[in-house]
Amino acid sequence: MNYEFFLAKRIIGSKAYKSSVSAPIIKIGIAAIAIGIVVMMVAIATGIGLQQKIRDKVVAFNGHVTITNFDSNNSQESLVPLSTKQNFYPEFKSVEGVKHVQAVASRFGVIRTETDFEAAYLKGVGADYDWEYFKEFLVDGKLPDYTKDRNEDVLISQYLANRLGFKTNDTFQMVFPKDDAEKIPNIITYKIVGIYNSGFQDLDAQYLLGDIRHIQRINNWNLDQIGNFEVFLNDYDQLPTKSIEIYHNTPPTLNTQTITEKYASVFEWINIFDKNIYGIIGIMILIAGINMITALLVLILERTQMIGILKALGSNNWSIRKLFLYNAGYLIVLGLFWGNLIGLSLLFAQKYFKLFPLDPSVYYVSEAPVYISFSYIVTLNLGTLILCLLMLLVPSYIITKISPVKAIRFE
């Protein structure tokens, strides 16, 4: 029988233990563990959630990898046509892990109304376009259908719609200037069939989605000529390796660019979240550990006589240290229980009720997104428990310095 565990249970369950001098300090230690786990859980959930949400928004507009011609064009406009007659289109069979390849083209234009105007890019998409991301972004109307005859239906952002006073089923004219200023610009009347809101204002302010065949006609391109290809992967974490494979499996006349390269400043910013998360975890575990050390020292001081009696009865130092470590482990588990209960309640409340909004112009999202995963919750709890117990090994060493004779006489 594990008598150390038996004695620890008796001590924890005794009324004297709950009303002792150490009771307030023990409660503070439990509270420190609970608050620490709540803060760490929220930091991880919101940090990873924000990273994934921003990343998904950028991917929605660009794909994971963009395949283009080698040219000096730094704008979003498609100038040099690219043939769709490629070995990797419509399916990229030579690289494993590629989910989808789609052909797109962009053209700069000016949206004109009776009282206002707004510059934007018409992103031309076709029958192969994957609307998965924009299904989530859709706030009104429906997604356009470009699988049949060419049409004038467009999907516009809520940002542009609000600025220009548009709503679903409204029509507007978009003017596409020619490279030669003396030539008459192309004017197309579009109909708004849907309004989306990605929350990424920088991108929402630039793009509306329309039929790629309009851009092909304006640019005098053939139906097999497009602006660029967007490649989507099954796993974002494989982007560094898969982007290299994609590059080596495309013709030498084509260039590839990942979203992390195209939007380097955005991804550098969200990568800072990792450092913040590690910093918060380290600080909270240190604070929780210090509080538990204080609680353990008080417990040892309060039960000095018991330590002396156990030593006199033949218990060795490690056996007595285990007794107090069991006791401290119970307090840590109790703090973890309350911390998980409060932390998960806050996270699920935010996930389903959107309690904490954010400024999309700063954070690219309208509310704090949360990422809840069983794996990181278990890892966080086990890590906190093990690290706190390891930190308690040092103060428990004081038990080895206690003399049985002096301890029994201690008051």
User: pLDDT tens-digit profile of 212-222?
Assistant: 999 999 999 99
pLDDT class of 261 with cuts at 50, 70, 90: very high
Q: Would you list the DSSP string of 80-146?
A: S-EES--TTSS--TTSTTEEEEEEEEEEEEEEE-SS-EEEEEEEEE-TT---HHHHHHEEEE-----
The token pair that represents 362 in the structure block: 């700063």
CB-CB contact of 245 with 191 (8 Å): no
Say how many CA atoms lie within 13 Å of 272 toward its Cβ: 5
The beta-strand segments (E) located in 234-370 are: 254-258
- Give the pLDDT mean for 52-65: 92
| Residue 406 confidence (pLDDT) above 80 | no
- The pLDDT of residue 168 is above 80: yes
Tell me whether strands 117-125 and 207-211 are parallel, antiparallel or unpaired. parallel
Domain ranges of the chain: 3-56+267-409, 71-252
Q: Mean pLDDT over residues 347-359, rounded?
A: 88
pLDDT at 386 over 60: yes
Phi-psi region of 84 (alpha: psi -120 to 50; beta: other; left: phi over 0): alpha
Q: How confident is the model at residue 1 (pLDDT cuts 50, 70, 90)?
A: low
Q: What is the pLDDT of residues 274-291, one digit of tens each?
A: 888 889 889 998 988 888
pLDDT at 75: 67
Using CA atoms, how far residue 51 sits from 44, 70, 75, 287, 380, in Å, is 10, 30, 26, 27, 19
Tokens of 356: 């904490």
- Compute the distance between CA of residue 113 and CA of residue 166 in angstroms, rounded to an integer: 10
Average pLDDT over residues 12-21: 62
Q: In this predicted structure, what is the pLDDT of residue 333?
A: 92
Mean pLDDT throughout 126-134?
A: 94
Mention every residue, 6+ apart, whose C-beta is less than 8 A from residue 226: 78, 81, 82, 84, 103, 104, 105, 212, 216
Is the preceding peptide bond at 251 cis, omega within 30 degrees of 0?
A: no
- pLDDT value, residue 164: 92
**Residue in the structure block whose two tokens are 């989306």:** 196
Q: What is the pLDDT of residue 306?
A: 79
Q: Coil, strand or helix: which one is 205?
A: coil
The reported pLDDT for the residue numbered 229 is 95
Closest CA to 8 of 307, 384, 328: 328
Residue 3 · residue 326 · CB < 8 Å: no
Q: Which has more pLDDT, 178 or 175?
A: 175
Which residue(s) pair with 125 in the sheet? Answer: 104, 211
What pLDDT, on a 0 to 100 scale, did the predictor assign at position 131?
95
What is the average pLDDT value for the chain, to the nearest integer?
Answer: 87
Read off the pLDDT of residues 67-82 as tens digits, 9 standing for 90 and up: 998 875 666 788 888 9
User: Residue 120 has what pLDDT?
Assistant: 93
Q: For residue 33, is pLDDT > 70? A: yes
At residue 19, the pLDDT reads: 61
Closest CA to 105 of 226, 258, 254, 206: 226
- Whole-angstrom Cα distance, residue 147 to residue 162? 29
pLDDT at 311 > cutoff 90: no
Q: Give pLDDT, residue 407.
A: 58
Indicate whether this model's pTM tops 0.95.
no
